[in-house]
C-alpha cells in the first residue's frame, strides 16, 4: 500500500490564478480530510469527504475554496483566484470506513502565492 499520495508537492501560483491540489487516499479508504497549516500554526481542519459526498465543510472558507471526492479518481481541493494569504501547507488524510480509525496523512502540498 503506497500510502496517501498528494501532488504536486510544491505549487507556485500568481495572485488571481487557480490552484488544484490532489489527494489519492490509501487503498480501501473512503474517507478523506483536508487540513491547512499556516506558517507557525497548527493544522486546521478544512473539510471531510466521503466518495461523492461532502460530510463536513465547516472549516472551509466561504469563498474561492471547494473540494470534491468523485467516485473515480483523487480528491481535489480547488482554490480560485488565489491570494497571498492562501500560501500554506495543505495536508490530506484518509481513513477506512471503520469507527474510531486513525487518519493516515499524506506528505502535503506547499502552496506559494507570489
Partner 1 sequence: AQRVTQPEKLLSVFKGAPVELKCNYSYSGSPELFWYVQYSRQRLQLLLRHISRESIKGFTADLNKGETSFHLKKPFAQEEDSAMYYCALGPGGYQKVTFGTGTKLQVIP
- List interacting residues with partner 1 (CB under 8 A): 3-4, 31, 33, 35, 41-45, 48, 55-56, 58-59, 91, 93, 95-108
Nearest to partner 1 of 22, 104 (CB atom): 104
Q: What is the number of other CB atoms lying within 10 angstroms of the CB of residue 21?
A: 23
Q: Is 70 within 8 Å of 78 (Cβ atoms)?
A: no
Query: Could you tell me the smallest distance in angstroms from the CB atom of residue 104 to partner 1?
Result: 8
Query: Could you tell me the smallest distance in angstroms from the CB atom of residue 72 to partner 1?
Result: 21
Q: Is 53 within 8 Å of 38 (Cβ atoms)?
A: no
Nearest to partner 1 of 19, 106 (CB atom): 106
Q: How far is 90 from 37, CA to CA, in rounded Å?
A: 6
Amino acid at each position: 500500500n503506497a500510502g496517501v499520495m498528494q501532488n504536486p508537492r510544491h505549487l507556485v501560483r500568481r495572485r488571481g490564478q487557480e490552484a488544484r491540489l490532489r489527494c489519492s487516499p490509501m487503498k480501501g479508504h473512503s474517507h478523506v480530510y483536508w487540513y491547512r497549516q499556516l506558517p507557525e500554526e497548527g493544522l486546521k481542519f478544512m473539510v471531510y469527504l466521503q466518495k461523492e459526498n461532502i460530510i463536513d465543510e465547516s472549516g472551509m472558507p466561504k469563498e474561492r475554496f471547494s473540494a470534491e471526492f468523485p467516485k473515480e479518481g483523487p480528491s481535489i481541493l480547488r482554490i480560485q483566484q488565489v491570494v497571498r494569504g492562501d500560501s500554506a501547507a495543505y495536508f490530506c488524510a484518509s481513513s477506512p470506513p471503520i469507527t474510531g480509525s486513525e487518519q493516515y496523512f499524506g506528505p502535503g502540498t506547499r502552496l506559494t502565492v507570489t
